[in-house]
């Protein structure tokens, strides 16, 4: 009954398409226009990808920190490592650069060497006051030498903040208005103000200025994502069109296919706009993905049309058969591919959900476009000439098909042995896979801003903020001497950790106050004793000079304090070890009943997000396998066929995972997509092969060997064609400047190549070896869905 409905459905669909050609084309044009009006709603991401659910404990902790202290990622740093900067003219120019930047809208404040102030004891009024190191500008070398001596030798409070006393590297800190940090205004400041100012300064003073900080990194990284969308789309169109032309040797067929996939890309961008999703490093991959997945649809449809034309010479009948015969097959394969992507929707990560929704909708959209546009356009074109059909007679692929048949006939043991060796080797490799939670690892490693990140890591031990928030559970509890001592003990551990920078907190200010109380003697830069504390506090209470300094490290109630440090770009294993070490010290120093201490910051949030994704990888892949197994069970009505079909599709995934272990490619947000994507695509070949195999069984009166070899010869060529397109199509991503995208492209390409060989060698071998278990009445049952129509079976 269902089978009859399906056949009637496609007959009706074919008639509707071919009888309403103009209306459909006009509808596609209108739909494309409407989608294009939504492009303005596309938003390019202004923050790092948050891989965790909004209600995850790590996100909740981070958001609580932001509520207390505000946006932490608003710092841009400028640095110079050049001895010539310590000349009167150049140091004055450096300070004037900061003064100019202060005047720009969107800048909260700029702290340069000129802005540094000494905390000085005022005995007469029993208070501290601030005096600038540089009052106006530096007028002489003597004044410059005195400044260097004071900064590098007498005031440890500022060491590793605006200078490195060992390497004489200096830097300035630009604090952006927190309101613009995660908006388009940040990009405007960086691109139109900051970069031109720095370039002009460099040219005028022959100095190499390094720039870093999260707002700057985010801006340039986002711009790279935007640039690569265009690059990927052009490269995917070029590569797939060249391969397509190589197969068909027809400019007309190639042009039609390009038109279809270009419209598909326009629809994809429209879907992004309608849903108001941000374009991230993941969603940026979808437009070229649609090209790569859409071209095989075009190959199936155009190839079938040309076969039909050559068979009976009736163009209208050929177009109708293209829809009725190939429509069902392409629908099934596109549904399975979309299912691989759609499993990400069931994860709790917003980033993956958005990727899964847009990708699965776009795949179904490109199927509809192929099914509508290709038959309609060919209905308007003249009858194909002989040169358009020449590719159907090519024999060069015959050698490859003969080799496959020989292998399955004569080398079945070798195929099983090779598969077993690959499986064992892969399992060993899988245990060597590492997890990466680095924000910087996937960024373009050859770009100037990544080189600058490395520069600041070497000079100031990192730029990735790691925050520790201390809740004393009572107002003004931070300034209690017992709290300060506990914080100091934790800071000592941070200082001893080479991957972390010198911490910044109220503790440093209290130490600086003691130094000032003892007339600036640097040996008194330490936590005061309880007796000293009362004297120093009396001075501090009379002072207003240090209130602004306190605001960044203690909240208005005095209940919460923060310790800020910066982390180098390190692997997840090291990051977890540092986190464990800090947590151990926190547990030891801060009693739980009196303090609530939490660690957070962008570095930690990203690392936790990656770990979360790894857990979700197993879930999403299992869901993909389960959904596709259900689909195949419904289609073939055979439990045994499900097991046989899954083996050649799971083996390539294991081989790829093993390769990742051996090659040192870590699991990270980009590479984690490989498995679900590859499984969803590779299972298409299995469906085609098994559908043809079942047809051959019926045609050959259940002669297993004849049926397997017949299916191998029939489907081998089309599987080879589509696999080549997909292999080179996904290889396009290897031209990316993002390491994760390169790995994604290479791994999916390799997986699909393994999957093709597995489906053409291992699958038929299994069918032959298990013929007594499989070739029975269970397979003889009519399938719920006929991939290949009965008319083909009779032919």
Q: Is the pLDDT of residue 26 over 90?
A: yes
**How many Å separate Cα 608 from the centre of its chain?**
15
726 closest CA partner among 744, 690, 753:
753
**How many Å separate Cα 377 from the centre of its chain?**
38
Residue 454: pLDDT band (50, 70, 90) is confident
Estimate the crossing angle of helix 639-663 against helix 412-430, to 10 degrees: 50
Q: Residues 535, 540, 543, 548: what is their CA dihedral angle, to the nearest 10 degrees? A: 170
Tokens of 620: 């999403």
- The confidence score (pLDDT) of residue 795 equals 42
- Contact, 618 vs 530, CB < 8 A? no
Residue 541: pLDDT band (50, 70, 90) is low
Q: How far apart are the first and last CA of the chain?
A: 23
Q: What is the spatial distance between Cα 34 and Cα 53, in angstroms, rounded to a whole number?
A: 32
Q: Is the pLDDT of residue 45 over 70?
A: no
Looking at the DSSP bridge assignments, the partners of residue 667 are 435
DSSP-based three-state secondary structure for 38: coil
pLDDT digits (tens, 9 = 90+) for 230-256: 788 888 888 888 887 877 777 888 888
Q: Is the pLDDT of residue 42 over 80?
A: no
Cα 634-639-642 angle, rounded to 5 deg = 80
Find the mean pLDDT for residues 345-372: 86
Q: Kindly give the pairing relationship between strand 278-279 and strand 43-44.
A: parallel
- The confidence score (pLDDT) of residue 263 equals 93
250 closest CA partner among 201, 187, 306:
306
Q: Is the pLDDT of residue 792 over 70?
A: no
Which range is least confidently modeled, 410-424, 694-708, 776-790?
A: 776-790
- The confidence score (pLDDT) of residue 638 equals 66
Find the mean pLDDT for residues 168-176: 84
Find the mean pLDDT for residues 334-345: 80
532 closest CA partner among 118, 121, 117, 116:
121
- The confidence score (pLDDT) of residue 7 equals 55
Q: Is the pLDDT of residue 586 over 70?
A: yes
Count Cβ neighbours within 10 Å for each residue of 159-197 and write b for 16 or more, e otherwise: bbbbbbeeebbbbbbbbbbeebbbeebbbebbeebbeeb
- Contact, 692 vs 788, CB < 8 A? yes
Enclosing H/E stretch for 77? strand 75-80
Tokens of 781: 């049952």
Tokens of 186: 């940040």
Residue 351 is classified by DSSP as H
Q: Is the pLDDT of residue 301 over 60?
A: yes
Find the mean pLDDT for residues 632-651: 75
Tokens of 270: 């429209």
Higher pLDDT among residues 512 and 787, named by residue = 512
Q: Which range among 69-73, 457-461, 737-741, 760-764 has the greatest average pLDDT?
A: 760-764
Radius of gyration of the chain (CA): 33
Is the alpha carbon torsion for 275, 279, 282, 288 positive or negative? positive
Residue 369: pLDDT band (50, 70, 90) is very high
Higher pLDDT among residues 33 and 13, named by residue = 33
Burial class (CB in 10 A: 0-12, 13-18, 19+), 729: buried
747 closest CA partner among 661, 685, 626:
661
Find the mean pLDDT for residues 204-221: 84
User: Full-prediction pTM beyond 0.85?
Assistant: no
Q: How many CA atoms lie within 13 A of 749 on its CB side?
A: 17
Q: Is the pLDDT of residue 788 over 60?
A: no
Q: Is the pLDDT of residue 777 over 60?
A: no
Looking at the DSSP bridge assignments, the partners of residue 598 are 469
Q: Is the pLDDT of residue 281 over 80?
A: no
Q: Is the pLDDT of residue 31 over 90?
A: yes
Q: What is the spatial distance between Cα 615 and Cα 791, in angstroms, rounded to a whole number?
A: 47
- Contact, 665 vs 743, CB < 8 A? yes
Share of the chain above pLDDT 90, in %: 4
Using CA atoms, how far residue 389 sits from 250, 313, 637, 717, 732, in Å, is 9, 12, 38, 16, 29
Residue 561 is classified by DSSP as E
- The confidence score (pLDDT) of residue 4 equals 47
Looking at the DSSP bridge assignments, the partners of residue 534 are none
Q: Is the pLDDT of residue 622 over 80?
A: no
Q: What is the spatial distance between Cα 606 and Cα 617, in angstroms, rounded to a whole number?
A: 16
Spatial neighbors of 84 by CB under 8 A, at least 6 apart, are 90, 206, 207
Share of the chain above pLDDT 70, in %: 87
- The confidence score (pLDDT) of residue 397 equals 64
Q: Look at phi and psi of residue 195 and say left if phi exceeds 0, alpha if psi is from -120 to 50, else beta.
A: alpha
Q: What is the spatial distance between Cα 53 and Cα 445, in angstroms, rounded to a whole number?
A: 29
pLDDT digits (tens, 9 = 90+) for 412-422: 889 889 989 99
Q: What is the spatial distance between Cα 619 and Cα 625, in angstroms, rounded to a whole number?
A: 10
Average pLDDT, the chain: 79
Estimate the crossing angle of helix 674-699 against helix 739-757, to 10 degrees: 20
Which range is least confidently modeled, 63-67, 144-148, 398-402?
A: 398-402
Q: Is the pLDDT of residue 790 over 60?
A: no
Higher pLDDT among residues 491 and 672, named by residue = 491
Residue 358: pLDDT band (50, 70, 90) is very high
Which range is least confidently modeled, 209-223, 542-556, 566-580, 717-731?
A: 542-556
Q: Is the pLDDT of residue 365 over 90?
A: yes
**How many Å separate Cα 740 from the centre of its chain?**
7
- The confidence score (pLDDT) of residue 791 equals 47
Higher pLDDT among residues 543 and 755, named by residue = 755
Spatial neighbors of 382 by CB under 8 A, at least 6 apart, are none
């Amino acid at each position: 009954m269902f089978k009859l409905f399906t056949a009637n459905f496609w007959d009706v669909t074919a008639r509707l398409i071919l009888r309403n050609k103009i209306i459909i084309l006009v509808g596609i044009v209108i739909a494309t226009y409407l989608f294009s009006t939504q492009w303005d709603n596309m938003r390019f991401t202004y923050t790092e990808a948050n891989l965790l659910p909004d209600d995850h404990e790590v996100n909740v902790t981070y958001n609580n920190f932001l509520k207390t202290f505000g946006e932490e990622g608003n710092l841009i740093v400028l640095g110079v490592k050049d001895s010539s900067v310590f000349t009167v003219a150049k140091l004055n120019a450096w300070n004037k650069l900061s003064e100019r930047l202060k005047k720009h809208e969107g800048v909260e404040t700029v702290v340069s060497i000129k802005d540094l102030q000494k905390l000085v004891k005022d005995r007469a009024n029993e208070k501290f006051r601030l005096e600038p190191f540089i009052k106006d500008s530096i007028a002489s070398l003597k004044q410059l030498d005195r400044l260097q001596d004071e900064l590098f030798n007498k005031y440890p409070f500022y060491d590793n903040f605006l200078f490195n006393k060992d390497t004489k590297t200096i830097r300035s800190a630009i604090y952006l208005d927190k309101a613009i940090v995660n908006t388009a205004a940040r990009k405007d400041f960086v691109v139109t103000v900051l970069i031109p100012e720095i370039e002009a300064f460099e040219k005028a003073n022959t100095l190499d200025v390094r720039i870093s900080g999260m707002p700057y990194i985010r801006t340039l990284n986002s711009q790279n994502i935007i640039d690569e969308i265009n690059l990927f789309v052009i490269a995917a169109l070029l590569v797939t069109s060249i391969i397509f032309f190589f197969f068909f040797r027809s400019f007309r067929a190639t042009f039609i296919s390009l038109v279809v996939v270009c419209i598909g890309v326009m629809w994809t961008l429209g879907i992004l706009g309608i849903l108001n999703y941000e374009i991230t490093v993941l969603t940026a991959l979808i437009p070229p993905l649609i090209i790569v997945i859409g071209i095989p649809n075009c190959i199936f449809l155009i190839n079938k049309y040309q076969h039909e034309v050559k068979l009976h010479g009736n163009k209208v009948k050929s177009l109708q058969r293209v829809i009725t015969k190939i429509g069902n097959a392409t629908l099934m394969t596109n549904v399975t591919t979309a299912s691989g992507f759609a499993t990400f929707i069931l994860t709790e990560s917003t980033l993956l959900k958005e990727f899964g929704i847009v990708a699965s909708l776009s795949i179904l959209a490109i199927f509809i476009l192929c099914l509508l546009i290709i038959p309609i356009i060919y209905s308007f074109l003249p009858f194909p000439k002989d040169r358009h059909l020449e590719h159907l007679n090519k024999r060069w692929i015959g050698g490859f098909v003969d080799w496959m048949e020989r292998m399955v006939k004569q080398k079945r043991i070798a195929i099983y042995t090779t598969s077993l060796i690959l499986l064992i080797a892969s399992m060993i490799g899988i245990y060597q896979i590492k997890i990466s939670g680095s924000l910087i690892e996937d960024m373009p490693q050859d770009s100037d801003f990544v080189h600058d990140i490395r520069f600041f890591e070497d000079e100031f031990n990192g730029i990735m903020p790691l925050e520790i928030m201390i809740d004393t559970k009572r107002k003004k509890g931070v300034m209690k001497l017992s709290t300060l001592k506990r914080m100091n003990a934790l800071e000592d551990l941070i200082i001893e950790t080479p991957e972390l920078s010198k911490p910044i907190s109220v503790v440093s200010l209290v130490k600086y106050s003691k130094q000032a109380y003892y007339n600036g003697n640097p040996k008194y830069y330490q936590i005061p004793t309880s007796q000293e504390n009362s004297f120093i506090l009396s001075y501090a209470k009379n002072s207003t000079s240090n209130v602004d300094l306190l605001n960044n490290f203690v909240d208005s109630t005095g209940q919460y304090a923060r310790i800020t440090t910066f982390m180098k770009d390190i692997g997840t294993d090291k990051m977890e070890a540092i986190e464990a070490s800090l947590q151990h010290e926190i547990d030891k120093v801060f009693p739980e009943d009196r303090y609530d201490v939490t660690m957070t910051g962008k570095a930690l949030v990203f690392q936790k997000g990656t770990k979360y994704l790894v857990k979700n990888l197993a879930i999403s892949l299992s869901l993909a396998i389960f959904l596709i197994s259900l689909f195949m069970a419904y289609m073939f009505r055979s439990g045994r066929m499900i097991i046989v079909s899954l083996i050649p599709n799971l083996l390539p995934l294991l081989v790829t995972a093993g390769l990742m272990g051996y090659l040192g490619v870590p699991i990270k947000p980009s590479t984690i997509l490989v498995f679900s994507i590859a499984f969803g695509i590779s299972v298409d070949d299995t469906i085609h092969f098994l559908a043809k195999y079942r047809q051959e069984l019926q045609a050959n009166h259940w002669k297993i060997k004849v049926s397997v070899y017949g299916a191998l010869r029939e489907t081998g060529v089309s599987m080879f064609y589509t696999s080549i397109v997909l292999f080179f199509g996904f290889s396009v991503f290897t031209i990316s400047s993002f390491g994760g995208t390169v790995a994604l492209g290479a791994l999916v390409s390799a997986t699909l190549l393994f999957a093709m060989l597995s489906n053409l060698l291992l699958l038929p071998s299994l069918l032959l070896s298990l013929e007594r278990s499989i070739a029975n009445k269970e397979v003889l049952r009519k399938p719920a869905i006929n991939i290949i129509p009965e008319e083909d079976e009779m032919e």
